[in-house]
Structures are given as structure tokens and as C-alpha cells.
Structure 1
Amino acid sequence: MRRLLALVAVVLIALGGAAFWWLHQPLVAAGEPLELAIEPGTTPRGIARDVVAAGAQTDARLLYAWFRLSGQDRAIKAGNYEIPAGTTPRSLLQKLVRGEETLRAVTLVEGWNWRQVRQALAKEEQLRHDTAQLSDDAVMAQLGRAGVAPEGRFFPDTYAYAKGSSDLALLRRALHAMDRRLEAAWSQRAPDTPLKSADEALILASIVEKETGRASDRAQIAGVFANRLRAGMLLQTDPSVIYGLGEKFDGNLRKRDLQADTPWNTYTRVGLPPTPIAMPGKAALLAAVQPEPTRALYFVAKGDGTSHFSASLEEHNRAVNRYQRGQQ
């Protein structure tokens, strides 16, 4: 009897040692990381099979047994994972339980228009392109904003996403981010703002974003437009005209373009255009609602990224001659 007990003890110790050894052996010895996609609802047994099918060097039955014995088999999270070289059964389970998905990132740039946003998302190979066959109106309907133009409604930022996630989900995050930023900016608006709504603030902020060559000029540029709105003057902002021209714009804004009436031609129509013309960042949003007090009604680019501001048309014309036409 003692011999039998001793033998059992030796066997158990050996098995325990083998299990300890196995738990610390790499599932991927070298080379490229393995890609593992766990669909929602996959059983622990199915997950073990998927790991092996992805290329892990082990037995799916052993892996499943480990998941069960750990007591964490039901805590494994669905998602997209990379299994790099050196990953052991122990570290793999930790990754899956924590939901440490492989993340990619895409940056939506301040000043981009909606067309550029769609192009950027379409180039992200790891995104699921659920919007590919949808019109702009259909995209906004899917996001719960039917009838709202998409232009300017998404906050420019860097967004991390898991491989295989939907571009609609990413857009929804950017949409809600802009909602929050706009609401925060509008709550801080100056008492004498000529803007009547948060939507008008978004439109003006988009113009300020496109007109600003240097950050230090942003609030004063907003001040010029605020003055013009109060006075009922034409805004006469070139970026808005260019936006209205769409793909017809060839990079050279001509006199005939300034005279071609579109809803976004601020040389022919008083007030703000009907929609934003780009995605404004946080600074542009704040500048639109808190413009710098100024007497200026005009500004012109000086060629170094800054602008010259003028309170009178006469002074403005001199500045145009100097900075745009090279006349002293």
C-alpha cells in the first residue's frame, strides 16, 4: 500500500511539473504574431480550437483544459488579438481575460472636410467598411442624425480601434466627441456674441479653422467675422467659396469664382453659410464663441502664416497691395 501511495505521489508530482512546464512554453516560438479573432458567443472549447487554428503550437484539448482549470474560461472576452512570439498559455489567458485587443489608430485632421474623412476611413484596411455603399444622408441616418449634413460634425482627433470594428462605430465616437466639445464651447460663449445657436458656432468655427494660418491669430480672425456679422456685412471668406465650388476648384480662386453664386459664396450672400465647411478643432470652437475684441473688419494673409488686420477698407487695400501684390 505504501508503495502504491508513493507511486501515485511521484506520478502527481511529475504531472504537476509537466503542467507547470507547459504553462510557460511559448505558443509562438518566433516570426510574425498570430492573428486571433474571437467572435461573441464562442465557447471556451471553440476559443482553444481557434487559437490552434491561428497557428499556436499546442494541443487544443490542453489549452481548453487550462482555461477550465483556471476558473476564468467564462471571463474570456471576444475581440481581435495578436499573439506575439513568446506568448505562453498563461500569458495568453491573461490577455484574453483582460480583453487586450490589438488596436490600430486613425487620425482625423483639423480642417479636413467630410470628403477627406470618408477617404481616410476607406484607406484603413483593418476597419470594416460598413459605410462604403452608403450615401452621406444614409450614413447620418445610421448615426441617428437623419437630415443633418455630415460636414463639420465629427471632432478631429486620433481614434484607436480594434481590427475588424465598424467605421460607423468610429464615426459615432467622433460625432459624440464633437457634440461634447461644441456643447462645452457654447456654454462659454461671450454675452455679446452675434451667433444665435451652437450650430452657428460650429459653422463659424469651421471658417476660422480654415482661415487661420497661425494659432495666435485665431481669436482675432473670429473677432473680424463677429464684427461683420453684427454689421450685416458680407463675410467674404475664400475658404467658404472654395467649399461651395467642390471638386470644380482647381487650386486657383478666380474672380469669376467669387461671383458664382452658391449657398456657400460669402461674397454674394450675407451671413453664415448653411453648413460648416470643415472640421474645427477645440481652439477654433472656443475662438468662435469667445472672439477677441477688435475694431478690425478686414484681414489679409502676410505670406508668413500671420495676418494683417485693418479697421478700414483704405487700410485693408494698402495691406493687400503690400502683402498680396508686392507693392510698397
Structure 2
Amino acid sequence: MKKFLIAVICIIPVIVVLALSVTGDIILQVTAENPNNLRIHRFDDTEVQDGGLIEIDVNDAEDYLVIDVLPGFVQNKEIVWRLTAEEGMAGKVSLEKMEGSTNRYWIRPEEPGICAMEIRPAGNIDVVKTVNFHITTIEVQRFEVYRDGQSDPVATAYGPNSDGEPTSETVKLHGAERFYTSATPFSAFQVLEGDETEWSIGAFSGSSEDGDSAEDYLSVDETGLVTPLKRADAAIAVNAYLKSDKTGNSFLATFLVDLSEAVVKSTDAVCLETGKSESEMTAWVKENLVLSPTASVDFVSRSGAKWTFEVSEPLA
């Protein structure tokens, strides 16, 4: 009997250990499919909060995230991620799992700008954390020319170039219009010194008009104001030249202007001759400002030295 009691006493710890082991396995199996949190750190162990911002250069290939799926004993350590489609966010970035690691992911910047990424544990997609990325660059990626009041560019240069080939459809000009330039990303354009853009008149797209130069038919000033001087059958190129971004790259965006239906040179002009009558001023406007032979000029009003006229073209 004594030996039996001793044997029972000796086997009790073994039974307890086995019971705890089985219990542990059961708990592990029950909770393994239910991650309930994510912990995200930078490579320098700085924690990234939900909605936090990471700034990274587009050429950075060494930055990474440590993403832990919690609790730590879950079996499925995998994550899923996606970029959210939000208006005005032009950046692009991806994550690439490090070879041989369970929780480290390379940050792969692809396009400059701002973007937002949702990260979830693969075992519970109801858990989500958002990380915002600002992908920076010192290089201009895109240089564009816009017509005043329009959202679509008339010319785009996607990289440094110097050939000046037209990159848009022909712009039909009826009178003087202002054009604007924009560079993406803005941060690379913002730090330029001096005048960012130089404007110039290029050549005729076809044969020249009566041997004249393109500057006899069209002008552009330093602010991008393009003014027709004569009607022309052949289109004329207008060049916008971005001198340099932070890296020293230059960009040339060119668009063609059609002057075949130009009506007036300018709606704002100065007549140095004083003392003219209404009819004389009307004749002066028609002779000096109007390009269309069929356009009519009508006096509207006068306020001191300011005369207002209406120029109209009859419908075809």
C-alpha cells in the first residue's frame, strides 16, 4: 500500500503537466484564428500610430516596417494591405516581405505624393490600421502647361527633354489668352530660384507664311500671355521651358496654336492719340486690334480715357 501511494504521488506532477500542456494546446487552437491587434514600428523601433505619417524619399530602398500580429502566440502572422483610393492622393507605395522574416516588410516607394495604406492581419480583416505615406523627391516627374480656366493640360513633358516636340492637340486661339505651368511634385518645383519658366515662340508646324517668321504672327510674354498678331493658316509652336528642378534637370513642353480664326489681338490696349471721336476710335480699334475681316466693332461705353468696345464675329 505504501508503495502504491508513493507511485501515485510521483505520477501526479506528470498528470498536471500533461493537463496544462493539453489545455495550452486547446487555447492556442481556439485563439490562433483571431488576431485582435497590430503593432507597427519603423526600422529604428519608432512606433507608427494608427493614421500616422511616414515620409520617405522615392529612391529610398533601405526603409522597412516591423509589423507584429497580436497576440503574439497566433499562428497566422501574415498581413494584407491595400492603398485607399482618395481624391488628390497621387503617391504610390507597396510593401514587400523580407526573405526569411515573419514580420519585416520593405517599404517600396513608387510614385511621389501622398497616399494612405490600410494594413490588416490576414486572420481577421476586421482589424485595420492606416498608415499615411508622403513620398518625396527632388526631381520633377511631370511638367504641364494649362490654358487659363481649364483643368486639362495642353502640353505635358513626362521627363527631361530638349526636342520641343508638341505633346498636345492644337489650341485654337481667338484672342489673347494666358497659359500657366505646373510641375509634379510641387515640392521639387517650389524651391527653384529666379523665374521658373521661360516662354518662347517656336516655328510654324508647316511652311511659313509669305516668308515671315512665327514671331510676326504670335507673341508671348514672360507671364505666359499668348497674343495673336496676324491670322495664319499654319499652326505655330509655343514653348514653355522649365529651367531646372533640384537635380538640375530641365523640361520643355510645347503646344501648337491655330490662328486661322483669330478675331482680336487684345482686349486691353492703349491708344496714344487723344481727342478722337467715337467713330474715329471705332476705326482705330478695327485697324489696330481686330484681325478678322468680317468682325464688327461697336462702341459700348466711355469712362474718362477708358473706351469699351464690343467685337463680334458673324456666325458662319
Whose relative contact order is higher, 1 or 2, with alpha carbons under 8 Å and at least 6 apart?
A: 1
Bigger CA radius of gyration: 2
TM surpasses 0.5: no
Structure with the bigger percentage of strand: 2
